[in-house]
Structure 1
Amino acid sequence: MIEKILIADDDTSVVAALQMLLKSQGFEVVSVTTPDALLEQAKKQQFSVALIDLNYQNDTTSGHEGMQMIAELKQIDEKLPIVVMTGYSSVDIAVDAMKAGAADFVQKPWGNERLLHTLRTQIQLHSAHVIGSKLASENTLLKDQLSLAKHAIVAESESMKAMLLQLKKLAKSDMSILLTGENGTGKSMFAEYIHQYSMRHKQAFIAVNMGAITESLFESEMFGHMKGAFTDAKEARIGRFELAQAGTIFLDEIANIGISQQAKLLRVLEERQFERVGSSKTQQLDLRIISATNANVDKMIVSGDFRQDLYYRLNTITLHIPALRERKADIIPLAQQFLTQHAHKYRIPVGTFSAKAAASLEAYDWPGNIRELSHIIERALFLCTGDCIEVKDLGFGLNEHQDQASTTGADGNSAQTSSFEQDSLDDIEKGIIVARMKKFTGNPIKTAESLGLSRSAYYRRLEKYNLT
């Protein structure tokens, strides 16, 4: 590829000398003698570098015309490298030109080797930048495609099809959204889905588990702090709001924060500004807020556990994510998706589900929703002895919630004392938790992880079922 150089100088002898030199080195040269002609050529063609004099007929000493040309060239093509030519007595002007956007300068009369080296260096840098920008654009596009594929949501059921249509429409707005639904329904996944289809998708998506932030650390975690702001502040820290600037912040388990924390959060949402702890500098907030909870916020407002004014700030619109048992048509497609994902993760054959296993999956009530389905499929992948996952591999037959309880009948055969069909949802959930507690000898971290719960959510269930 022949590199094209744009030359501008009102001295025709200088132009002729430059043309002879550069053409002998294999460059294509376009030369002009006025600023207007220079800008016209820059608009018409793409150049690898521009070599321009700073002084013309209207002003032969100050370089003001050249400075204006640099600014106008940058408006036409901000990536075009500009090399300016100056006299020995005009070094200060050359420095000003570089501050204005010139890439380098050469002095008149020039040395051919120095001039050629300068131009080739700028051409190489420009080519590398162009290629890098193209690769970056392609990489961004690929990342966007992969991100959308990652957050593709199974929607075979009518309820989920309607939900996705609504989500895509709402994503284009900037309104605050509150996601409600049971644990494990995928509220965080839906939050990311909204972000990926929003106008802010190229900016950060910051997820915060509000239930895991203690009251004493709330301001530091959310707003950041300055070095020395308090005893343990050995260095400055950026808060979650600042990290999410221009993007989306997802406040998960929003109902788990205390009243004092709610007041601090409300002030930020109302005024759209905050300060780091220990700083008097106010920062403006520009982000989209999505929050989620599995709690009944209306009841919490009545009981005084949640501020109504904060609730109104969070729920410009509220979307309820249906439980898995309410979207039966999605169970098998989701199970197959998880099977494929886990198989690829562990580099083992994907396999299929037997007809009875598929029927069992559809019949189960899924108290743990999508999270539980994922865990069961992952386990079944390793329990399976062939290419086909059977009912026994799913682990339903173990009835973990019953602690594998069975009784011996009069005929000496083992008979289960209860079944999923007879137990209430709370009985099933309590039984599963008890079984996992025994399996992990009461270790709360391992037990919570095996259930797909955060520690705060796990402890809430212990209190609910009096298992503390």
Structure 2
Amino acid sequence: MDVPVSEPLPVTPVAAPEPAPAPAARPARILVADDQADVLEALRLLLKRDGYTIVTAQSPAGALATLDAEDVDLVLMDLNYARDTTSGKEGMDLLGRIRAQDAALPVVVMTAWGSVEGAVEAMRAGARDYVQKPWDNTRLLATLRTQLELRRALKRSRRLEEENEHLRRGKGGLPSLVAESRAMQPVRRMIERVAPSNANVLVTGEHGTGKEVVARLLHAASARADRAFVAVNSGGLSEGVFESELFGHVKGAFTDAKADRIGCFELADGGTLFLDEIGNMPLSQQAKLLRVLQTGELHPVGSSKTRRVDVRVVSATNVDLAKAVAEGRFREDLLYRLNTVEVPLPPLRERREDIPLLAAHFLAEHGKRYGRAASRLSPGALEALLAYPWPGNVRELEHAVERSMLMATGDEVTAEDLLLRRAGREGLSRLEEMTLEEVERYLIERALARQEGNVSEAAKGLGLSRSALYRRLQYYGIKGVR
């Protein structure tokens, strides 16, 4: 029997209220440092008229204290201060401290003594430009605009680099929703209704049911579709890297922090953050996540500056979170923040009508990838697919079809090409028909199932160290552990 390749089912949003417009970009924030109050006031009035937000300091110590406490986009600073009014030494010292703290922060220096030599020295030390007092308003504003535009371009470039790194580590592109079974119709309707909103969504279901597919479709059908979709395995982050991964860090925050890093929340600003395996997140990390979800504010590791983010959170788990709350393993207030809407996904055994469509879709997809001729399933292969229990759900089906592409010798996939494990006692009695990798994966999955995903207990049962089991989990792509 030939099974046609299923076209991806479109996600058509139903009528919904217009989404709230994206928040306007905040005005650039400029720190002006000078020891003369009249100079500060004149600059405050000039820059305020041009739409900037101004913070001021009358000493190097005050400027550094402001930079420690606030996030600014540019520093406009005098080179000369009350203690030493002509040499510019205090200003040069301040410039050096600013550069050490944030080398990417643009600094424009001012000097009233007409010493071009001092300004040139400041440029060599890292200042981006200089102006002389009394300044020309037009030139000063043009200088500041140029430096702020350059800073925005550099930040965009760095953000794109981080986004590309996340894409390289994850799956790029929009996945297909192949779902015609009755069991999947409520899921489709839920996606259509919820996607245009900014509501946080919790996707639940067994391993391999397609939770990330749903998350990506929710993003693609939302008003945030042209912004970033960032996926992170939140349940697999150790205590030491959790904050750095989600909230970022500044240079020098810890031993290996050799440069500033943008966290996943900032990468997803304006877009969607997908938190996979949320049910396996330790309680200490849950509190940190809750704070950001409640306030929209975060602090990168090693920084006291507050940064605001506008992120829609889609999370996923195979854990019964209500039970986890009752057992004290998951915060109830965090659950309320995450599941404004819950989308439960049925296991593949409850949507068997979709098996032929899914298999044909994966057959076409991997046929293109490997350049193989096999383009249809034999009647025996289809019968084997429908008879198999699919404990690994859609993910296992995809792997089986991909494997069959490599095993098939003609333009038809046979039941033998699928290499499906036998179910129940028959499967256990025919281990010799499996490859070594298939046997190892089978035993690992069985051990994890017995221990409800607890890696430490599963490792003991298998006679492995925890780290050795984690390496195998990563190799086989097994998720949903704790």
**TM-score, normalised via structure 1 length:** 0.58
CA contact (8 A) 1:211 1:254 kept: yes
Question: Aligned-pair distance for 1:283?
Answer: 0.9
Decide whether aligned partners of structure 1 residues 385 and 308 sit closer, same or farther in structure 2, where only a CA change above 3 A counts.
same
- Provide the rounded CA distance (Å) in 2 between the counterparts of 1:314 and 1:207: 15
3-state SS of 2:398 partner: helix
* Residue deviations 1:112-139 (CA, integer Å, cap 9, x gap): xxxxxxxxxxxxxxxxxxxxxxxxxxxx
Decide whether aligned partners of structure 1 residues 325 and 273 sit closer, same or farther in structure 2, where only a CA change above 3 A counts.
same
User: Please, which of 146, 150, 162 is the counterpart of residue 186 of structure 2?
Assistant: 162
Show the 5 A alignment for 1:51-66.
none
Equivalent position amino acid for 1:254 in 2: I
User: Please, which of 235, 249, 265 is the counterpart of residue 211 of structure 1?
Assistant: 235
1:360 pairs with 2:384: yes
Q: Could you tell me which runs of 5 or more consecutive residues in structure 2 were left unpaired when the two chains were aligned.
A: 1-49, 51-135, 146-170, 434-441, 451-458
Decide whether aligned partners of structure 1 residues 273 and 162 sit closer, same or farther in structure 2, where only a CA change above 3 A counts.
same
Question: In structure 2, what is the equivalent of residue 315 of structure 1?
Answer: 339
CA contact (8 A) 1:367 1:429 kept: no
Identity of matched residues, %: 42
Decide whether aligned partners of structure 1 residues 313 and 401 sit closer, same or farther in structure 2, where only a CA change above 3 A counts.
farther
Equivalent position amino acid for 1:448 in 2: L
3-state SS of 1:226 partner: coil
User: Please, which of 226, 231, 234 is the counterpart of residue 255 of structure 2?
Assistant: 231
- Provide the rounded CA distance (Å) in 1 between the counterparts of 2:172 and 2:190: 17
- Provide the rounded CA distance (Å) in 1 between the counterparts of 2:176 and 2:251: 42
1:291 pairs with 2:307: no
CA contact (8 A) 2:235 2:277 kept: yes
User: Please, which of 202, 207, 216 is the counterpart of residue 226 of structure 2?
Assistant: 202
Show the 5 A alignment for 1:425-444.
430=446, 444=469
- Provide the rounded CA distance (Å) in 2 between the counterparts of 1:433 and 1:403: 17
CA contact (8 A) 2:250 2:261 kept: yes
Question: In structure 1, what is the equivalent of residue 74 of structure 2?
Answer: none
CA contact (8 A) 1:249 1:288 kept: yes
CA contact (8 A) 1:229 1:278 kept: yes
Decide whether aligned partners of structure 1 residues 395 and 215 sit closer, same or farther in structure 2, where only a CA change above 3 A counts.
same
- Provide the rounded CA distance (Å) in 2 between the counterparts of 1:237 and 1:211: 21
1:347 pairs with 2:371: yes
Decide whether aligned partners of structure 1 residues 95 and 266 sit closer, same or farther in structure 2, where only a CA change above 3 A counts.
closer
Question: In structure 2, what is the equivalent of residue 246 of structure 1?
Answer: 270
CA contact (8 A) 2:235 2:281 kept: yes
Question: In structure 2, what is the equivalent of residue 4 of structure 1?
Answer: none
User: Please, which of 436, 444, 453 is the counterpart of residue 478 of structure 2?
Assistant: 453
Question: Aligned-pair distance for 1:348?
Answer: 1.3
Equivalent position amino acid for 2:335 in 1: Y
Question: Aligned-pair distance for 1:234?
Answer: 2.0
Decide whether aligned partners of structure 1 residues 217 and 446 sit closer, same or farther in structure 2, where only a CA change above 3 A counts.
closer
**TM-score, normalised via structure 2 length:** 0.56
3-state SS of 1:279 partner: coil
- Provide the rounded CA distance (Å) in 2 between the counterparts of 1:394 and 1:223: 43
3-state SS of 2:269 partner: coil
Equivalent position amino acid for 1:340 in 2: A
* Residue deviations 1:233-263 (CA, integer Å, cap 9, x gap): 2221111111111110000001111111111
- Provide the rounded CA distance (Å) in 1 between the counterparts of 2:360 and 2:445: 24
1:255 pairs with 2:279: yes
Decide whether aligned partners of structure 1 residues 167 and 341 sit closer, same or farther in structure 2, where only a CA change above 3 A counts.
same
Question: In structure 1, what is the equivalent of residue 106 of structure 2?
Answer: none
Equivalent position amino acid for 2:357 in 1: P
Decide whether aligned partners of structure 1 residues 307 and 380 sit closer, same or farther in structure 2, where only a CA change above 3 A counts.
same
* Residue deviations 1:353-392 (CA, integer Å, cap 9, x gap): 1112112211211100011001101111122222211111
Equivalent position amino acid for 1:452 in 2: G
Question: Aligned-pair distance for 1:398?
Answer: 5.9
* Residue deviations 1:34-77 (CA, integer Å, cap 9, x gap): xxxxxxxxxxxxxxxxxxxxxxxxxxxxxxxxxxxxx9xxxxxx
User: Please, which of 173, 176, 194 is the counterpart of residue 152 of structure 1?
Assistant: 176
- Provide the rounded CA distance (Å) in 1 between the counterparts of 2:144 and 2:449: 67
- Higher mean C-alpha deviation, range 224-233 or range 148-157: 148-157
- Provide the rounded CA distance (Å) in 2 between the counterparts of 1:199 and 1:401: 51
- Provide the rounded CA distance (Å) in 1 between the counterparts of 2:309 and 2:399: 38
CA contact (8 A) 1:191 1:290 kept: yes
3-state SS of 2:342 partner: strand
CA contact (8 A) 1:401 1:429 kept: no
CA RMSD, 1 decimal: 3.6
Question: Aligned-pair distance for 1:156?
Answer: 1.3
- Provide the rounded CA distance (Å) in 1 between the counterparts of 2:190 and 2:309: 26
Question: In structure 2, what is the equivalent of residue 53 of structure 1?
Answer: none
- Provide the rounded CA distance (Å) in 1 between the counterparts of 2:237 and 2:250: 19
- Provide the rounded CA distance (Å) in 1 between the counterparts of 2:296 and 2:397: 39
Show the 5 A alignment for 1:390-409.
390-396=414-420, 405=429
CA contact (8 A) 2:250 2:302 kept: yes
Question: In structure 1, what is the equivalent of residue 350 of structure 2?
Answer: 326
Decide whether aligned partners of structure 1 residues 212 and 97 sit closer, same or farther in structure 2, where only a CA change above 3 A counts.
closer
Question: Aligned-pair distance for 1:397?
Answer: 6.0
Question: Aligned-pair distance for 1:96?
Answer: 9.0
- Provide the rounded CA distance (Å) in 2 between the counterparts of 1:388 and 1:94: 74
* Residue deviations 1:172-204 (CA, integer Å, cap 9, x gap): 000010000000001011101100111000000
- Provide the rounded CA distance (Å) in 2 between the counterparts of 1:431 and 1:261: 27
- Higher mean C-alpha deviation, range 196-205 or range 153-162: 153-162
CA contact (8 A) 1:176 1:288 kept: yes
Question: In structure 2, what is the equivalent of residue 372 of structure 1?
Answer: 396
Question: Aligned-pair distance for 1:393?
Answer: 1.3
Question: In structure 1, what is the equivalent of residue 20 of structure 2?
Answer: none
Decide whether aligned partners of structure 1 residues 360 and 449 sit closer, same or farther in structure 2, where only a CA change above 3 A counts.
farther
3-state SS of 2:417 partner: helix
Decide whether aligned partners of structure 1 residues 395 and 250 sit closer, same or farther in structure 2, where only a CA change above 3 A counts.
same
Question: Aligned-pair distance for 1:94?
Answer: 9.1
Equivalent position amino acid for 1:174 in 2: N
Show the 5 A alignment for 1:10-159.
150-159=174-183
- Provide the rounded CA distance (Å) in 1 between the counterparts of 2:198 and 2:379: 45
Query: Which is higher, the Rg of structure 1 or of structure 2?
Result: 1
